[in-house]
Amino acid sequence: MSSPVLSLSRRLRKSPFESRSHVGAKAASVYNHVVLPTAYASLEEDYWHLREHVQIWDVACQVQVQVQGPDAHKLVEYLTPRDLSKIVPGQCVYAPLIDEKAGIVNDPIILCLAPDRFWLSISDTDVLLWVKGLAIGAGFDVEVADPNVFPVSLQGPQSETLLSRLIAEPLSDIRFFRFIETHIDGIPLVVARTGWSGQGGFELYLADTNEGERLWDLLVDAGEGLNLRSGCPNLIDRIETGLLSHGNDMTLNNNPIEAGLDRFFKMGKAADYLGREALERIASAGPDRRMVRMVVEGDAIANPRETYPLTVADTQGCGCVTSITFSPRLGFNVGLGYVPADTTAAGTAITIYTPTGTVTGHIANNDWQTAD
Amino acid sequence: MSSPVLSLSRRLRKSPFESRSHVGAKAASVYNHVVLPTAYASLEEDYWHLREHVQIWDVACQVQVQVQGPDAHKLVEYLTPRDLSKIVPGQCVYAPLIDEKAGIVNDPIILCLAPDRFWLSISDTDVLLWVKGLAIGAGFDVEVADPNVFPVSLQGPQSETLLSRLIAEPLSDIRFFRFIETHIDGIPLVVARTGWSGQGGFELYLADTNEGERLWDLLVDAGEGLNLRSGCPNLIDRIETGLLSHGNDMTLNNNPIEAGLDRFFKMGKAADYLGREALERIASAGPDRRMVRMVVEGDAIANPRETYPLTVADTQGCGCVTSITFSPRLGFNVGLGYVPADTTAAGTAITIYTPTGTVTGHIANNDWQTAD
């Protein structure tokens, strides 16, 4: 059957960049109630272009939840096992938010705007309601709000060249996961060295939504000679980079240790946080399964709708593939998924059960090598 | 520009009816992270068919939030200004959920399965996170979960005839907004006389998602001779019926009094609920604006992306149109929107500002008459 077109309604929040970013978009999804373009030329062409040039992405769907007030820092600490005691204004921190069972609610980038003011720049769940509910229930003295701030992203190796044409501050002063507050032609922006690709770039947070189209056009004009194109988060690039997608690779039913997000925090932070008891129990017993990278040679595999089960060779162990796609650069399928925690060694053989038959693959290390 | 197709990913939850309901769907949206078909033949053809025959709707996107445990009833009462003290098993209640400022978080149907077990059958916000946050923060003794229960809906005048071919119990025993627990060919179901149309019908809540396709096929087979078609919530029918859409006609920035949902509850219920103080203040001062129906003669108007501002003739008052479409039956545009609370009389002239020019219309009563 042919794919239905995405029907728009007022229920889907309007990106301030929509009139520009939807031009040429062949496919789109909905993310945080906002339309997210998902394909322009093709997955593969978009991938190669991203690696070589610079792309402008409408990621307005990465909406903000603002936590502000006397208890703001205490509440943000309460949401995550990551230690935020040393966070300073101008810093971004990637931090999983967990519930009382250590299930992953969301995995935002937390921007510290002031000691008592934070943005959670979120993946696809209504964190606004989660944080409001907790704050009201437990009596934190904060205001939790949606400030109507939407990011546009420049990603790819030429993004710094492009942006330096528009911003007076030396961009080299913005370290990875840091931001500055600046202007482009009078438009106030938060500019962070972040973004959901492995190719480097910036996210520009726009508060004045009336300036969305002008900002987009200024960025496009500044891209002259750089082969700038509209783009979007690219499945091949993000799997190769090992970026997990909430809803795809982890949900409320996964904990951050099994998902491998524990590389972003140390157990035992001083501040109180929800889910500590559950998470400490998992850390101490060890998780049952772990997220690994997987390599599958042969024909291209995709799993747009299915979680494929897998078994680990020579064991009774089973797991699943959560994301997989063919890498035209590496020449094999690159996948992410869960296997039993005691069978994560690179090179371990796995069998994957797809609707069209079984295929064999191997667990890989972070360089996509299947031998240790 | 042409409309992008909806791209699927594992992040979008799979409806158990998807392999059936997506056949023939020309357009779709995403609602509660689930794909919702939004058009089959055409808006107008779907409308006429719905009024005359029976349609099967994949409304899996109307997901459930289950609240269960010793404090379940107390917590559900806490979520809404509607008095639930007399709710009994087998009863459905439409109830706005509000926040501390009386903003509308969601407008579910609440199903009472047992005195200590409820489903909130929700519109498009993550009520799971809202209720979990409140319950954890305030220490309610409940389990809040997503039970993986998905509705399929039969709507239209022939829905009772169809369903009576499959269910042993006399359907006339199921009153409006009541449900029974029953089976169709061994598939356990909750069957409620509810649904998001003005044409009558039932919603069948399926817990065993492996039975989705078989259930769909059984319903289709039982529709023989009844001109059954796949369908979906229809914009024309739902506006004519005055059914509000959360995200379109009301958001967290609206309170239930101005949205006209106060016809579903009386102020001053005994049980404690969040937002009481804010709501009582609004009730006592009177809301600033009120939701009304509007009639606009002339050419068809649509507002898939925009809230159109309006002014009320002979006053300084302004408001907005939140939903509007052309009714082929009534021969004019039917709209919903807000006007100042002191200018709601049927017949009051309004001027609406659309991107293609201004049009004039009138406030209507609930029968779409523009004279009192």
pLDDT band at residue A304 using 50, 70 and 90 as cut-offs: confident
Polymer length in residues for chain A:
372
Q: Count up the domains in chain B and report the number.
A: 2
Return the half-sphere exposure (C-beta side, CA atoms, 13 A cut-off) of residue B320. 14
Q: Pick the residue of B40, B63, B132 with the most A CBs within 10 A to test the interface with A by mutation.
A: B132
In a 3-state reduction of DSSP, which class is residue B256? coil
B195 and B314 fall within a common domain: no
A:296-315 residues touching chain B, CB 8 A cutoff: 303-307
Report residue B21 as tokens.
């309901």
Cβ separation of B126 and A125 shorter than 8 Å?
yes
CA A308 to chain centre: 22
Q: Give the CB-side neighbour count of residue B195, counting CA atoms within 13 A.
A: 30
Instruction: Identify the helix (H) or strand (E) that includes residue B182.
Output: strand B179-184
What is the model's pLDDT at position B260? 98
Q: What pLDDT is stored for residue B315 in this prediction?
A: 87
Say if the ipTM goes beyond 0.95.
yes
Is there a domain that residue A99 lies in?
no
A175-227 pLDDT, tens digit per residue, is 999 999 999 999 999 999 999 999 999 999 999 999 999 999 999 999 999 99
The residue among A258, A256, A290 whose CA lies nearest residue A274 is A256
Report d(CA A265, CA A215) in Å as an integer: 36
Residue B209 — very low, low, confident or very high, per pLDDT cuts 50/70/90?
Answer: very high
Count of CB atoms within 10 A of residue B360's CB? 13
Rounded Cα distance, B197 and B37, in Å = 15
**Residue B158 shares a structural domain with residue B234:** yes
Alpha-carbon torsion, ordered A353, A359, A365, A369, to 10 deg = -170
* Domain limit, last residue, from B180, B206, B238: B238
The string of pLDDT tens digits covering residues B36-88 is 999 999 999 999 999 999 999 999 999 999 999 999 999 999 999 999 999 99
Residue B49 to residue B331: CA distance in whole angstroms = 17
Q: Give the number of other Cβ atoms within 10 Å of residue A157's Cβ.
A: 15
Same-domain status, A195 and A292: no
Same domain, yes or no: A210 and A345: no
Q: What is the pLDDT of residues A249-263, one digit of tens each?
A: 999 999 999 999 999
Give a yes or no: residue A143 inside a domain. no
**Structural domain harbouring A185:** 18-62+149-238
B131 in contact with chain A, both atoms CB, cutoff 8 A: yes
**Which residue shows structure tokens 């750089």?**
A226
Chain A positions touching B39 (Cβ under 8 A) are 4, 7
Q: What is the CATH number of the domain that holds B292?
A: 2.40.30.110
d(CA B25, CA B5): 12
B153 shares its domain with B233: yes
A212 and A320 both lie in a single domain: no
Report if residue A341 sits inside a domain: yes
Q: Are residues A161 and A36 in the same domain?
A: yes
What tokens does A155 get?
């990603």
Q: Does B29 touch chain A (CB under 8 A)?
A: yes
Output the CA–CA distances (angstroms, integers) from residue B65 to A31, B16, B32, B139, B146, in the order listed: 20, 17, 11, 18, 5
- Residue of B242, B284, B208, B206 lying closest to B94 (CA atoms): B242
* Residue of B9, B139, B245 lying closest to A248 (CB–CB): B9
Chain B residues in contact with A322 by the CB 8 A cut-off are 10
pLDDT digits (tens, 9 = 90+) for A108-143: 999 999 999 999 999 999 999 999 999 999 999 999
Residue A350 domain-assigned (yes or no) = yes
pLDDT in tens, B214-260: 999 999 999 999 999 999 999 999 999 999 999 999 999 999 999 99
CB of A253 within 8 Å of a chain B CB? The answer is no
Answer whether residue A142 is part of any domain: no
Q: Tell me the CATH number at B182.
A: 3.30.1360.120
